[in-house]
Amino acid sequence: MQRHRIFLTGVGGQGTLTSTRLLALAAMDAGLDVVSGEIHGMAQRGGVVESTVLLGGFTSPKISPGEADILLGFEPLEAQRALSMLLQGGFAAVSTDPIPPLSSALEREPYPSLEAICAPIREWAGKAVFVPCHALGVKAGNPQSANTALLGAACAAGAFPFGMEAMEAAIKKHLPPKIVDVNLVALRLGADALGG
């Protein structure tokens, strides 16, 4: 089986860690060997959240710079900052919905344009997709399901060694019943955004 190193990044409150767990559980349910890790020191205050999911027989959850086969960016600027973790020619799925850091919110530093953020990602990755996840989450019925829309887009792009059915099954099995339906819709909207 092909091995996959997946690096996920976002900011606190976006559901990055929920997505990490969901992705890992979907892989486990599909019979794959999984290790996962996370760093979220200031996540509850809107700080950076980084996590990893490694599939196919790894023993450590650590990913060194330039090793990730897949980058999932739940916030565009954080995705650009984490680009050094991605293997050149790897796959990147990035939300296009910015959450400006405190310095930008206080107008001390301008938030870069989306094009300035996406251009180096396009240049570095072999394949990159950009998805309006917040809008898709709102369309699904809850903006907090935006993280699931990004997973749907990555699934539709063939990033994982399992498909939409496995992600749908994981959502039904592992998320609280009251948020299953909205996340299934968001997953499908993310896939449809790529024509998947």
Residue 129: phi and psi, rounded to 5, are -125, 145
Assign 127 a pLDDT band (cuts: 50, 70, 90): very high
Residue of higher predicted confidence among 38 and 123: 123
Write the pLDDT tens digit of every residue in 141-162: 999 999 999 999 999 999 999 9
- Between the alpha carbon of residue 53 and those of residues 19, 58, 123, 194, the distances in Å are 10, 10, 24, 23
Mean predicted confidence (pLDDT) in 165-182: 97
Indicate whether 190 pLDDT > 70.
yes
| Domain residue ranges of the chain, discontinuous segments joined by + | 4-193
| Percent of the chain topping pLDDT 70 | 92
Predicted pLDDT at 46: 64
Write the pLDDT tens digit of every residue in 71-111: 999 999 999 999 999 999 999 999 999 987 776 667 777 88
Q: Count of CB atoms within 10 A of residue 97's CB?
A: 20
Q: Count of CB atoms within 10 A of residue 44's CB?
A: 10
Predicted pLDDT at 104: 66
Distance CA 97, CA 135 (A): 8
> Please, what sign has the CA dihedral across residues 104, 107, 110, 114?
positive
Write the pLDDT tens digit of every residue in 26-40: 999 999 999 999 876
Beta strands of the chain (E only): which ranges?
4-11, 34-39, 48-55, 68-73, 86-95, 127-131
CATH of domain 4-193: 3.40.920.10
